[in-house]
Structure 1
Amino acid sequence: MKLTIPNNIFYQFLFLLCVAVPYLDIFELTIATWSLTFLITIRNNYSISLFKLIIPYFLILLIAFIVSFNYDYQRYFIIRDITYLLKPAIGFLLGYQLCQRNFKNAFKLIVNTGVFISICHVIIILNAIFIHGTRTVAELRFYSGYFSDYEIYTLIILLFYKKFELDYSKKKALILTLLVGFSAFMYLARTNFIQFLILFLALKGYFEINRKSITIFASIILVSVVGYFIVLSVNPRRDADGVEGFLYKIKVAPLEPFKTKINREDYKDFNDNYRSYENIMTIRQVTRDGIRPTLFGKGLGSQIDLKQEVWLGDMNLRFISILHNGFMIVFLKSGLLGIFIYLFTIFYFFNSSKSDNPVVNQITLLFIGTGVFLFISNWVFLGFYNLTETKSILIGFLIAYREKFK
């Protein structure tokens, strides 16, 4: 049997590396890897469509940069905010450039990368269970990760592999789908479940308003409401293990990001609704300084005082500059003007122009689903600003692929 090495194997490796490195949760390593790869793969021409997406991110950064001259922030936090706010734009550019080098095997590369990540995740899960003796949902997620947007996209592409013109046999497609599906499910991330549902409905074409789509959404809402009341009737315990612990997370999910009053002295109330607490503190501390910071934010290097130390990641922090809410982080750095600009980065994905190429139409549907999901993702998981997200590379990659045909 003759082993054939693709002539673009180096660029395939770079794509895999850039998608995989954020899973290590070392932001400095991610930025270094992405920046170096960007320089290696830089192009001399880019599409207008790509610039329509990344220019708003640069404008948000520019506003925050100008505003920061009015304050005396530490240089370290200013530099960190610059790299942080640049991360989505770098990801889009990276994906765009790498697609140019991997155009012929684009979707196989996307799937193979997702499969690799899934295999690694399953190995980590087995290690957590059999080596560390993990028995609870919280412990499992601590060892094996909290979410994976990229694997959800991979799973969706595998479920619709024929429409993406992947020449897999039914057996191979089934095996890969089960592997990636199991890995994605084991993150036990509510946001990922919602992401999967939204993208699946988008690829089925149910976001086009008609009688069938209205019936589908009415059924989903009905099932969700009934299911939630069943969870409430079960009344899962806060400190429960396994399935009951996961049900408790579902129980508190609807109110967790939207509560307007939280008792800091009540440990359960504070921890169960911490995301809302961040939002409350951000709005309160930005608006109390007057109309100027409300409109333009408090600039690069700005932080929020939580009024008490909170265990975040691997350290206790009272002052934080990175939040859980994408809209709030933009509001903190560049105010209401920044949020208005930021909305353009979401509405960008609702451009539903038709194409003669069926794969391009599938990408368009995937983008529509992405736009819907971003409203939820930004509210609870920072959207493209998340430190460990990798979907920005995938989106840039798909933009380049779509532009090849347009």
Structure 2
Amino acid sequence: MATTINKAFLYQLLFAICIYIPYLDNYELTFAVWSFSAIITITNTYSLGILKQLLCFTFILVLAIIVMFFKEYQLYFIIRDFTYLIKPILGLLIGYQLCKKFPKKVFQTIVYTSFFIAIIHLCLIFWALAFYKATTVNDIRFFGGFFSDFEVYALIVVLFHNKFELNFSKKRILLFTTVIAFSVFMYLARTNFIQFVILFLAIKGYFQVNKKSITVVVSVLIIAVIGYSSILLINPKRNGPGMEAFLYKIKIIPEEAFKTKINRDDWKEFNDNYRSYENIMTVRQVSREGIYPIIFGQGLGSKVDLKQEVWLGDMNLRYISILHNGFMTIFLKTGLLGLFIYFISIYLLFKKATESHPIIQNINLLLLGTGVFLIFSNWVFMGVYNLSDNKSILIGLLICFREIYIKTNNKNRAINSIE
């Protein structure tokens, strides 16, 4: 028994490592650790549910490879694109395979891992405040990190601990809730706030169409409109002190990713709406080459010409192979066909497992909320293809846990009926 517990703990530790590695912002390291983890945890059987997800992302990758053979691209960008497009496949495999190693500790592991990440995040912020005098929103995010989708999931699990059978004491629940919630807030990430609202509404069942859910969703939208209108009245400045910079980011949300005309000579307008600029140039470039690229994309190794050098990360670039927008990235590599398959992968998250047990219903709702959030996340932040993202591991984990729980429940029912 002791050996079994030790093995389970080692796999839980491996899960925590795989979740945390992307936070280090070193994709080569992430790819190496994820590849190694996926290989050493290979299992004998895979369910139809996970295979459907894997096939969607595999088809996208294969399509991009096939189109590549009709082009002439640099080997470096071909290899880089391959590692980017295979990332969600690795994540799904890791989550699914590791879940089988500690099926009774899944949600506890999620919470403990998130608590560990939150402590590190808050320590980084304290360090930045104490030694680098980081007082602006941009400085705090630079030192502490820009977002953490995983911590939002953990926060939802802790807040709804009864729904996920978390057998923690009240003191521990309060500790985890306080620390993780404060950490999530201190990322000051608009996407994380939106993610929290979406997942919260999903777990409460408000995405199921009925009179109550329509009332709640409409009320949330009205509150959002009133809040946004208030921010417009305040009119926060671009580089304002403290929270003003964050409010400015909220103010420009409607234009930032949806603007169709951008003045490249106005650096403020260009910088604030850069995501839209990427989308515009991608659509123009792919459309210019005719119907076949529109349908099948431009393949692995393809790049978008921005027509000018842009400071991205730590270098000036004119040609980029990966965009902020996940949908546009897939469109560039695999065209409308790849986009269609990508939407199927999201649609599969909406499909419920037919099981009446409350925890299965709650996992269904959590995956439903994930699907809704992925539509938004892909538009502004690349979704599961983001190099710092770990949602694919969580999706694989939840799919596997749901299947194991259903199978165990059915077996118990069969035993009880015999008795």
Q: Report if the CA contact (8 A) 1:18-1:33 is conserved.
A: yes
Distance 2:106 2:87 in 1: 23
Match of residue 350 from structure 2: 350
What does residue range 295-334 of structure 1 map to in structure 2 within 5 Å?
295-334=295-334
> In percent, how many aligned pairs have the same letter?
57
Q: Residue 223 of structure 1: CA displacement? A: 0.9
Q: Which amino acid aligns with 1:60?
A: I
Q: Which amino acid aligns with 2:123?
A: I
What does residue range 247-286 of structure 1 map to in structure 2 within 5 Å?
247-286=247-286
What's the secondary structure of 1:70's corresponding residue? coil
What's the secondary structure of 1:305's corresponding residue? strand
What's the secondary structure of 1:101's corresponding residue? coil
Q: Residue 356 of structure 1: CA displacement? A: 3.1
State the TM-score, normalizing by the size of structure 2: 0.95
Superposed CA offset, 1:240-270 (max 9, x none):
1211111100100111100000000001110
Match of residue 239 from structure 1: 239
Match of residue 111 from structure 2: 111
What's the secondary structure of 1:307's corresponding residue? strand
Q: Residue 171 of structure 1: CA displacement? A: 1.8
Q: Residue 5 of structure 1: CA displacement? A: 6.5
Q: Residue 377 of structure 1: CA displacement? A: 0.3
Distance 2:59 2:384 in 1: 16
What's the secondary structure of 1:216's corresponding residue? helix
Distance 2:196 2:104 in 1: 27
Match of residue 89 from structure 2: 89
Following TM superposition, the consecutive aligned residue runs of length 4 or more in structure 1 with deviations greater than 2 angstroms are 4-7
Q: Residue 121 of structure 1: CA displacement? A: 0.4
Q: Report if the CA contact (8 A) 2:363-2:398 is conserved.
A: yes
Match of residue 205 from structure 1: 205
1:398 corresponds to 2:398: yes
Q: Which amino acid aligns with 2:207?
A: F
Distance 1:180 1:345 in 2: 29
What does residue range 5-404 of structure 1 map to in structure 2 within 5 Å?
6-404=6-404
Q: Report if the CA contact (8 A) 1:357-1:405 is conserved.
A: no
Superposed CA offset, 1:314-341 (max 9, x none):
1111110010001100000000111111
Distance 1:63 1:256 in 2: 30
Q: Which amino acid aligns with 2:182?
A: F
What's the secondary structure of 2:270's corresponding residue? helix
What's the secondary structure of 1:105's corresponding residue? helix
Q: Which amino acid aligns with 2:375?
A: F
Distance 1:211 1:155 in 2: 28
Q: Which amino acid aligns with 1:115?
A: F
What's the secondary structure of 1:255's corresponding residue? helix
Point out where structure 2 has 5 or more consecutive residues left out of the alignment.
407-419
Q: Report if the CA contact (8 A) 1:152-1:196 is conserved.
A: yes
Q: Report if the CA contact (8 A) 2:92-2:392 is conserved.
A: yes
Distance 1:382 1:389 in 2: 9
Point out where structure 1 has 5 or more consecutive residues left out of the alignment.
none
Q: Which amino acid aligns with 1:146?
A: F
Distance 2:156 2:317 in 1: 38
Distance 2:405 2:142 in 1: 43
Distance 2:355 2:361 in 1: 6
Q: Residue 357 of structure 1: CA displacement? A: 2.4
Superposed CA offset, 1:249-306 (max 9, x none):
0100111100000000001110000000000000001110111111110000000111
